[in-house]
């Protein structure tokens, strides 16, 4: 599973980080030089402490116009170089980030900006404890010897979604289909732009996830397999 990073422009917004305690999100707090001279609430300090090893404080040593923004942009580049499959969430009210994030999204990177943690909290990943319990349960129920190969069943029906139906129709007509998850996400984004207009990154991701859920697409690591029989 891709690592999800939350990069907080603390100079611009000061969200309640306690909502991310116990989740796999890796939180990076970018604090401006002037803010380092200020006193912050104990409740904020307590929320940061609750994140444990998932929180990192990144101090900007000099003040200046867009100093924090430039550091965050540089950090995103280095992060994606190390982890091309990482998902990046920028928490800021500064719209100057949007052209960069749109540029990356068009190239298959999962990234977006929101002013608050609301959207992340609504669909936050399972807690570390729940993930551990699930892994133990799967390990206990796993067979001792590898099972025989199972043929992936064909989808039972084409979903009603017009967007997904259009994507399926286009994929079926293609000879050279995208071979990785990143390329498929980029292709879906381009398909939407050419057939009705650009869609937000979460719509692209939701469409890809729906293809996998309905077994039109299978993932083996980052490699994509297709099962598009009508």
pLDDT for 169-196, tens place per residue? Answer: 888 888 889 998 899 999 998 988 888 8
Task: Give just the sign of the alpha carbon dihedral 214, 215, 220, 225.
Answer: negative
Closest CA to 34 of 11, 5, 15: 11
The answer to whether the beta carbons of residues 219 and 212 sit under 8 Å apart is yes
Closest CA to 169 of 184, 178, 185, 158: 158
Question: What is the pLDDT, as a whole number, of residue 159?
Answer: 42
Question: What is the pLDDT, as a whole number, of residue 154?
Answer: 47
Determine the average pLDDT of the residues in 46-57.
Answer: 83
- What is the spatial distance between Cα 22 and Cα 90, in angstroms, rounded to a whole number? 20
User: Would you place residue 126 in the very low, low, confident or very high pLDDT band (cuts 50, 70, 90)?
Assistant: very low
The answer to whether the beta carbons of residues 19 and 121 sit under 8 Å apart is yes
Question: What is the pLDDT, as a whole number, of residue 42?
Answer: 62
- What is the spatial distance between Cα 87 and Cα 2, in angstroms, rounded to a whole number? 7
- What is the spatial distance between Cα 49 and Cα 184, in angstroms, rounded to a whole number? 38
Question: What is the pLDDT, as a whole number, of residue 51?
Answer: 85
Determine the average pLDDT of the residues in 222-230.
Answer: 81
Place of tokens 């399926």: 168
The answer to whether the beta carbons of residues 126 and 4 sit under 8 Å apart is no
Of 49 and 84, more confident: 84
User: 1-15, 25-39, 75-89 — which one is most confidently predicted on average?
Assistant: 75-89
HSE-CB for 124 with a 13 A CA cutoff = 20
The answer to whether the beta carbons of residues 109 and 80 sit under 8 Å apart is yes
Structural domains in the chain? Answer: 4-122 (3.40.50), 153-226 (1.10.10.10)
Does residue 138 carry a pLDDT above 60?
no
Least confident of 88-92, 149-153, 217-221: 149-153
Of 145 and 229, more confident: 229
- What is the spatial distance between Cα 106 and Cα 91, in angstroms, rounded to a whole number? 20
pTM above threshold 0.85: no
- What is the spatial distance between Cα 2 and Cα 120, in angstroms, rounded to a whole number? 15
- What is the spatial distance between Cα 113 and Cα 90, in angstroms, rounded to a whole number? 5
pLDDT over 90 percentage in the chain: 22
């Amino acid at each position: 599973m891709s690592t999800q990073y939350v990069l907080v422009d603390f100079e611009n917004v000061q969200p309640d980080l306690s909502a991310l305690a116990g989740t796999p999100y890796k939180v990076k707090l970018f604090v401006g030089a002037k803010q380092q001279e200020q006193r912050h609430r104990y409740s904020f300090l307590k929320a940061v402490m609750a994140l444990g090893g998932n929180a990192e404080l990144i101090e900007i040593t000099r003040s200046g116009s867009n100093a924090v923004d430039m550091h965050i942009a540089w950090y995103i580049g280095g992060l994606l170089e190390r982890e091309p499959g990482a998902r990046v969430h920028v928490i800021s009210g500064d719209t100057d980030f949007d052209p960069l994030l749109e540029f990356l999204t068009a190239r298959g990177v999962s990234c977006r900006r929101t002013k608050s943690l609301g959207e992340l909290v609504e669909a936050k990943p399972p807690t570390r404890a729940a993930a551990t319990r699930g892994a133990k349960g799967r390990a206990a129920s796993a067979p001792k010897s590898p099972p025989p190969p199972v043929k992936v069943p064909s989808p039972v029906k084409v979903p009603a979604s017009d967007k997904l139906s259009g994507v399926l129709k286009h994929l079926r007509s293609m000879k050279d289909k995208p071979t990785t998850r990143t390329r498929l996400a980029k292709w879906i984004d381009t398909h939407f732009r050419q057939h009705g207009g650009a869609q937000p990154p979460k719509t692209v991701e939701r469409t890809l996830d729906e293809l996998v859920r309905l077994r039109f697409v299978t993932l083996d690591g980052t490699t994509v397999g297709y099962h598009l029989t009508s």
